[in-house]
Structure 1
Amino acid sequence: MTARVLVVDDLEPNVKLLEAKLRAEYFEVMTALSGEEAIRIAAEQQPDIVLLDVMMPGLDGFETCERLKANEKTWHIPVVMVTALDQQADRVAGLKAGADDFLTKPVQDIALFARVKSLTRFKQMTDELRHRHEAGARMGVLSQADLSKFDEQHATILAVTDCESIPALDQGSEHLPKHISVVYENDARMALEALRRGEPDLVLIDLSMESYDPLRLCSAIRAFDMTRLAPLLAIASRDETRHVVRALELGVSDYLMTPIDSEELAARVRTQLRRMRHIEHLRSSFDQTLEMAIMDQLTGLYNRRFLGAQGSRLVEEAHKSGEPLACLMVDIDHFKMVNDTYGHDAGDHILKEIAARLTTSVRGSDLACRTGGEEFAIIMPRTPRESAHEIANRVLRAVSGDKVKLDDGQTLDVTVSIGVSILHEGDKLATVLKRADEALYRSKQNGRNQVTDEAA
């Protein structure tokens, strides 16, 4: 895996050393000698990861990281602090500034490459979701996420360990939000099942476990779609460096070395939970975008685009199976008069009410769509002509049986005209829809509020 890495240090020899190491592993490298330059390059060049020195004159690493994370163009780029400082208070300060990890000088090559690859892999996994969300936001379809609200949501931490408890985790509760709860599990298989059910929000994995291979658990979690992006936080002793590197290669999100500082643990937990919540938001917004592409926003029915795609598939399946398929075209009678007399708000209200009555009148297997204006189409697989007429008459009664009550308290009698057609051999979707539409037109001609068959 390759990546574009931005190396930031005020001392050129340090920059050259890291650059040489990274280029030897075929990473693309950009360099900056100050915090201000790093912010500008990150915004313009969009690197995959930033290696940021802490002790710099002017804008130090902490403030540079804060500005990168506050900038909408760069907040998503992983930042690793590279520093001679090895105090837990400094690591906590960096994590609170938004850093994803710390590397202590002199930087070990194995730790450097493992961390760069791990964070880059995660960024590449989420970039597509982020790009789709940003496109939706630019079009005004989606709103930008308020990341501060992610801290307010309840979360469950599952600690997988042979020990009865992790003292630093329990002690860290004073640094964690009150709505975060901790559950312990010593059976790795049960932990995996809990993850598949979507129960824990974050998993702590003790790499010193003896009852089960913890690396195999990491691999199993990353092997399934439903758990692939679950936050994994590993805990290891300082003599287990190779275990940590292997865990990062398998997809562990972050790690801590023992002895664990409770405040640092709390800071890393919060970072992982916020990242997980943001991924969930991106996924949700992507689903919302897909839904808006196929749904009629006023009525909640499927739109003409979805009718064309799904309706064609249903017609093709009917031809292959030899089963009958029927189509209804439904049009609200005198709808223009309603708009002209009572206004478009009243017209919208009627459209929504008729759509709701249509939905309750057809079967779950039927495809009900708003094709435009006051017209609706219903595709009914595995439906012979007689059954189609029964459903059409049920729709007719559902619409005309009760008056529609407007927001201002007025009530209106509303009726619909319906045309019925049946799929014939060789028919395309457009053909069967056209015949139903012609039958609908005859319903209009014959007095409205009735069902007409294509054969009439």
Structure 2
Amino acid sequence: MTARVLIVDDMLANLKLLEARLVAEYFEVRTASNGAEALELCDRDLPDVILLDVMMPGMDGFEVCRRLKADLRTQHIPVVMVTALDHPNDLLKGLEAGADDFLTKPVNDLALITRVKNLARLKLLTDEMLMRASTEEQMGFAAAMGGEVVEAGRSGRILLVEDREGAAARMVDALKADNDVVHLTDPAEALLGAPDGNYDLLIVSLNLQNADGLRLCSQLRSLDRTRHLPIMIVVEPGEEDRLHRGLDMGVNDYIVRPVSTSELLARVRTQVKRKRYTDFLRSRLEQTVEMAVLDPLTALHNRRYLSNHLDTLFQESADRGRALSVLLIDVDHFKAINDTHGHDAGDDVLRELALRLRRNIRGIDLACRLGGEEFVVVMPDTSLDSAYLVGERLRQCIAAAPFIVGAHDRPISVTASMGVAALEYETDTPDLIMKRADQALYCAKRDGRNRVVADAA
């Protein structure tokens, strides 16, 4: 894949070297020689990934990173800190500034290309989810995440699969202060436990004595419940081929033995932070999709969903010669309820009616609010006679007990009229069935309301 990469370094030789390596992989590269120039370039044209040197005169890389992550326009751009520093706190300082990854000078070619490609893919995914699910509330959350990156990466639930006792003990000791760590030696046990463990990160050794760590990674990537679980692999020096295979199957990060505890902590916090943020975006996207097909007042499906889903249910029933019935429901004298008790009371009536509706239909039935005080229930595998009985049961349920409405919990009597129609003719269409149900509903209202009328055609 290609992406726009900004390299920031005050040493011309470093700039040219990194630029040549990335251009050879078909990345679009821009360069800046200081922090101020980098911020100006980002303001004009947003890159996909930033490689940022730490030690620069004037404004160092930590300050540049902090400013980027504090800006709503640039806080989602992945930042890779490039440093020659080896003090244990330097990586954590970069994390606190908001860095997404780390490279140590001299930069390894494989590490450079791998991390830039992974972060570019992440940026593409994040951009797409933000575009589909962005609201002011979500952007506010994103700003909070950008400002609290340390807390976002703490208290992770980590699953470590390592059968070397000493190596496992060192990693658990390093991680347990900030995380809940579960250590397993058997990959089969990990495969069974990972889907139900609510983990934020899986760490797998590729050098398990009696198993293939890559196979475990592959199996977890193929499961729906662990498809998005971040995976970090622990590799030996010189295992480039196996590392490439792991990255190709979707491994998120890696660390080379001997494992540096400061690097391990930094990478774990980055992965935990990233998972929580993408989980949030994914959840918001799912909520956005739900909002598009659900009625906000009653939480039933809306007319838009009905128009699409009814066609599918109708076609399945017609193709298989199965029954299909539609029940239209209209609240009697609803305008009078609003005029007498207020619109809030009217809303309470509609919400309570939706609850009673749900309790009296099957899971396979589709209940929707058409709008106003009108509802519809689509019932697969249900004949006209059976649908009539369902309607009568619903009518009695609505009329039997008063509805409690308003701030003072006033009880009011509510009734509903209903019309039923079914798939009966070869020439039937969803529109024709709905029309016949509507005609039946009209007859129910004309004949005195609080009654169920079957197909009046």
Q: Is the 8 A contact 1:159 1:205 kept in 2?
A: yes
Task: Compute the displacement of 1:162 (Å).
Answer: 1.2
Aligned to 1:115: 115
1:52–1:89 CA distance, 2 compared to 1 (3 A): same
Task: Compute the displacement of 1:414 (Å).
Answer: 0.5
Q: Is the 8 A contact 1:171 1:262 kept in 2?
A: no
1:144–1:89 CA distance, 2 compared to 1 (3 A): closer
Output the amino acid matched with 1:286.
L
Output the amino acid matched with 1:158.
L
Output the amino acid matched with 1:100.
D
The aligned runs of 1:57-456 (5 Å cut-off) are: 57-134=57-134, 137-138=135-136, 144-145=141-142, 146-147=144-145, 148=148, 151=152, 155-164=156-165, 166-173=168-175, 175-176=177-178, 180-238=179-237, 240=239, 243-244=242-243, 246-407=245-406, 408-425=408-425, 426-455=427-456
Q: Is the 8 A contact 1:65 1:79 kept in 2?
A: yes
TM-score normalised by structure 2 residue count: 0.91
**Deviations for 1:158-183, whole angstroms, at most 9, x for unmatched residues?**
1111123623333324641xxx3211
Structure 1: gaps spanning 5 or more residues: none
Q: Is the 8 A contact 2:175 2:181 kept in 1?
A: no
Query: How far, CA to CA, are the matches of 1:355 and 1:48 in structure 2?
Result: 47
Is 78-87 or 439-448 further displaced after alignment? Answer: 78-87
Task: Compute the displacement of 1:184 (Å).
Answer: 1.3
1:198–1:171 CA distance, 2 compared to 1 (3 A): closer
Structure 2: gaps spanning 5 or more residues: none
Task: Compute the displacement of 1:258 (Å).
Answer: 3.8
Query: How far, CA to CA, are the matches of 2:444 and 2:335 in structure 1?
Result: 17
Query: How far, CA to CA, are the matches of 2:16 and 2:81 in structure 1?
Result: 17
Output the amino acid matched with 1:168.
R
Kindly, what percent of the aligned residue pairs are identical? 46
Look up the SS of the partner of 2:392 in the other structure: helix
Query: How far, CA to CA, are the matches of 2:335 and 2:47 in structure 1?
Result: 56
**Deviations for 1:19-40, whole angstroms, at most 9, x for unmatched residues?**
1221122111111222122233
| Residue 53 (structure 2) pairs with residue 53 (structure 1) | yes
Q: Is the 8 A contact 1:69 1:75 kept in 2?
A: yes
Query: How far, CA to CA, are the matches of 1:422 and 1:253 in structure 2?
Result: 53
Q: Is the 8 A contact 2:153 2:270 kept in 1?
A: no
1:142–1:443 CA distance, 2 compared to 1 (3 A): farther
Query: How far, CA to CA, are the matches of 1:423 and 1:241 in structure 2?
Result: 63
Q: Is the 8 A contact 1:168 1:261 kept in 2?
A: no
1:39–1:382 CA distance, 2 compared to 1 (3 A): same
Q: Is the 8 A contact 1:169 1:266 kept in 2?
A: no
Task: Compute the displacement of 1:219 (Å).
Answer: 3.5
Query: How far, CA to CA, are the matches of 2:190 and 2:264 in structure 1?
Result: 20
Query: How far, CA to CA, are the matches of 1:415 and 1:255 in structure 2?
Result: 65
Look up the SS of the partner of 1:144 in the other structure: helix
Q: Is the 8 A contact 1:8 1:50 kept in 2?
A: yes
**Deviations for 1:82-126, whole angstroms, at most 9, x for unmatched residues?**
223233332232233222322222323232222222222333344
1:328–1:247 CA distance, 2 compared to 1 (3 A): closer
Q: Is the 8 A contact 2:161 2:186 kept in 1?
A: yes
| Residue 29 (structure 2) pairs with residue 29 (structure 1) | yes
Is 288-297 or 82-91 further displaced after alignment? Answer: 82-91
Q: Is the 8 A contact 1:142 1:285 kept in 2?
A: no
1:254–1:295 CA distance, 2 compared to 1 (3 A): same
TM-score normalised by structure 1 residue count: 0.91
**Deviations for 1:30-67, whole angstroms, at most 9, x for unmatched residues?**
11222122233334423221111111112111111122
1:412–1:154 CA distance, 2 compared to 1 (3 A): farther
Task: Compute the displacement of 1:389 (Å).
Answer: 1.0
Query: How far, CA to CA, are the matches of 1:226 and 1:378 in structure 2?
Result: 32
Query: How far, CA to CA, are the matches of 2:340 and 2:381 in structure 1?
Result: 41
Q: Is the 8 A contact 2:419 2:452 kept in 1?
A: yes
Query: How far, CA to CA, are the matches of 2:437 and 2:389 in structure 1?
Result: 16
Is 118-127 or 10-19 further displaced after alignment? Answer: 118-127
1:232–1:14 CA distance, 2 compared to 1 (3 A): same
1:153–1:438 CA distance, 2 compared to 1 (3 A): farther
